[in-house]
Amino acid sequence: MSPETLAIVMFFGLFVTLCFGHPLAFSLGMLAVVFGVLGWGGSPTAVLALLANRAYGVMEEYVLVAVPLFIFMAQILDSTGIAARLFDTMHVVMGRLRGGLGIAVIIACTIFSATAGVVGATVVSVGLLAVPALMRIKYNIPLIAGCICAGGTLGILIPPSIMLVVYGSLSQISVGWLYAAAFGPGFLLSGLYMLYIAVICFIKPELGPGEKDSHHSFGEKLRMFAISIVPPVILVIVVLGSIIGAVATPTEAAGMGCVGAMLLAIFYRKFSWKSLWEACWSTTLTTSMIMTLFLGGNAFQAIFMGLGGGDAISNFLLGTQMHPIALLFLMMGIVFFLGCFLDWLGILLIVVPIFTPIANELGFSPLWFGTLICVNLQMAFLTPPFGYSLFYMKGIAPPEMNIYHIYKGVVPFVILQWVGLILCIFIPEIILWAPQAFFGPSAM
């Protein structure tokens, strides 16, 4: 069997192992060892030496130090109750409008995403507050589930996003450039979600009625706004501004973010040694999971590319003579399909080394193409059967909300994500305007 054929069998073998329920990280690593031995003359020593070198290379990747720091920052912010304050403020400001509480959920998720950058924390924190409030005034149940799940997924795209840090490490693109590029698509999707909720509730008021008994003076609203929104925005400006302004590296900015998060916890009188311990422990577990998957995926990537699998797929796709935009949509469709079965990190580790050379051959901007993949990967959190946001939502859902309501609710938002992705494809300035403004033509 030729090395290229082995590589293709290896790729499909990944889905077989997943169908048997094996963890993704160990499936990737096991396939790397088995097919490396088969493809390279039956010598496990050479294969294991290569994998050890690749693992050492991952450990030397300085930018990956930002991953546990941003996770720790998110955990501390979650313990401060920022999400609760954000939602309470937007609840008071917009609750009397049709669809106002649904829009408040999206705004709260957008702001919290710009501070935390972790999907699970956003969905759970905002969901625990929003679901009872929305159920009390008889919002449509699928709409409740959809807006919370979709709003929560913004955390994986809007900086400081862990996904963008990992993508920068894999593609050797500046994380600062990726952060600047993600602003446009992130806020575009947020705007599309709010527009959809406003329109659907205007057409069908029974889906999202306004509250009748909300009585707060302008001064009270202003005070709530100042306490709940201004401090997190300052933190975002410090962390992201230092990266985009080239004052600090992503790792250094993440460290400042951790300090800022702890200061916010003290300011809100939520800091305790117990919450610090819990944040450290959660960070350890999440980082260990991510890095184990990173090592397994890195091993799979090394063997798959070494066997010629990347070249075989690249030659096949380029040999179809399809129009570059049609080929781009094909690649986006493959990423979307993988998102139904794999998490975002597994997809990145598989597709980046395969699709990046194809995108370069087609003349696409690496920054634009990479941001499109990251926008696409938002859908992996919403698409059944393995969308993580769906599981987070089910975990906090009341008895009246079943899995059917959740699946039904996310469908319009997946369509909106496709609309946002298509807009980013045909209007590249949505992605490229900010990097060009901050970094000049070199970012293109």
Residue 193, pLDDT > 90, answer yes
Residue 1, pLDDT > 70, answer no
Both tokens assigned to 343: 């998490």
How far is it, in rounded angstroms, from Cα 120 to Cα 7?
Answer: 34
Q: How confident is the model at residue 177 (pLDDT cuts 50, 70, 90)?
A: very high
Residue 214, pLDDT > 60, answer no
pLDDT digits (tens, 9 = 90+) for 28-51: 888 888 888 887 666 777 778 877
User: What's residue 376's pLDDT?
Assistant: 94
Q: How confident is the model at residue 311 (pLDDT cuts 50, 70, 90)?
A: confident
Considering only residues 180 and 84, tell me which one the structure prediction assigns the higher pLDDT: 180
Average pLDDT over residues 351-358: 90
Cβ–Cβ < 8 Å for 177, 409: no
Residue 395, pLDDT > 90, answer no
pLDDT digits (tens, 9 = 90+) for 93-124: 776 788 888 898 898 888 888 876 677 777 88
Residue 317, pLDDT > 90, answer no
Q: How confident is the model at residue 374 (pLDDT cuts 50, 70, 90)?
A: very high
What are the structural domain ranges in the chain?
Answer: 65-443
Smallest CA-to-CA distance from 197 within 101, 93, 84, 109 is with 101
One-letter-per-residue 3-state SS of the chain? CCHHHHHHHHHHHHHHHHHCCCCHHHHHHHHHHHHHHHHCCCCHHHHHHHHHHHHHHHHCCHHHHHHHHHHHHHHHHHHCCHHHHHHHHHHHHHCCCCCHHHHHHHHHHHHHHHHHCCHHHHHHHHHHHHHHHHHHCCCCHHHHHHHHHHHHHHHHCCCCCHHHHHHHHHHCCCHHHHHHHHHHHHHHHHHHHHHHHHHHHHHCHHHCCCCCCCCCCHHHHHHHHHHHCHHHHHHHHHHHHHHHCCCCCHHHHHHHHHHHHHHHHHHCCCCCHHHHHHHHHHHHHHHHHHHHHHHHHHHHHHHHHHCCHHHHHHHHHHHCCCCHHHHHHHHHHHHHHHHCCCCHHHHHHHHHHHHHHHHHHCCCCHHHHHHHHHHHHHHHHCCCCCCHHHHHHHHHCCCCCCHHHHHHHHHHHHHHHHHHHHHHHHCCHHHHHHHHHHHCHHHC
User: What's residue 418's pLDDT?
Assistant: 96
Both tokens assigned to 48: 């294991």
Cβ–Cβ < 8 Å for 144, 135: yes
Residue 369, pLDDT > 90, answer yes
Matching residue, tokens 């994380």: 175
Residue 24, pLDDT > 60, answer yes
How far is it, in rounded angstroms, from Cα 63 to Cα 114?
Answer: 19
User: What's residue 267's pLDDT?
Assistant: 85
Residue 344, pLDDT > 80, answer yes
User: What's residue 190's pLDDT?
Assistant: 95
Average pLDDT over residues 369-377: 94
pLDDT digits (tens, 9 = 90+) for 423-432: 999 999 999 9
> In this prediction, what percent of the chain has a pLDDT beyond 90?
24
Burial of 397-417, coded b for 16+ CB within 10 Å and e otherwise, reads beeebeeebbbbbbebbbebb
Residue 370, pLDDT > 90, answer yes
User: What's residue 408's pLDDT?
Assistant: 92
> In this prediction, what percent of the chain has a pLDDT beyond 70?
95
How far is it, in rounded angstroms, from Cα 364 to Cα 120?
Answer: 33
Mean pLDDT over the full length of the chain: 85
Both tokens assigned to 107: 């705004």
Both tokens assigned to 76: 């501390």
Smallest CA-to-CA distance from 241 within 444, 442, 12, 438 is with 438
The model's pTM: 0.86
**Which range in 130-139, 198-207, 242-251, 379-388 is most confidently predicted, on average pLDDT?**
198-207
Average pLDDT over residues 277-304: 85
CB atoms within 10 A of CB 247: 12
Q: What are phi and psi of 395, to 5 degrees?
A: -65, -25
Residue 410, pLDDT > 90, answer yes
User: What's residue 335's pLDDT?
Assistant: 92
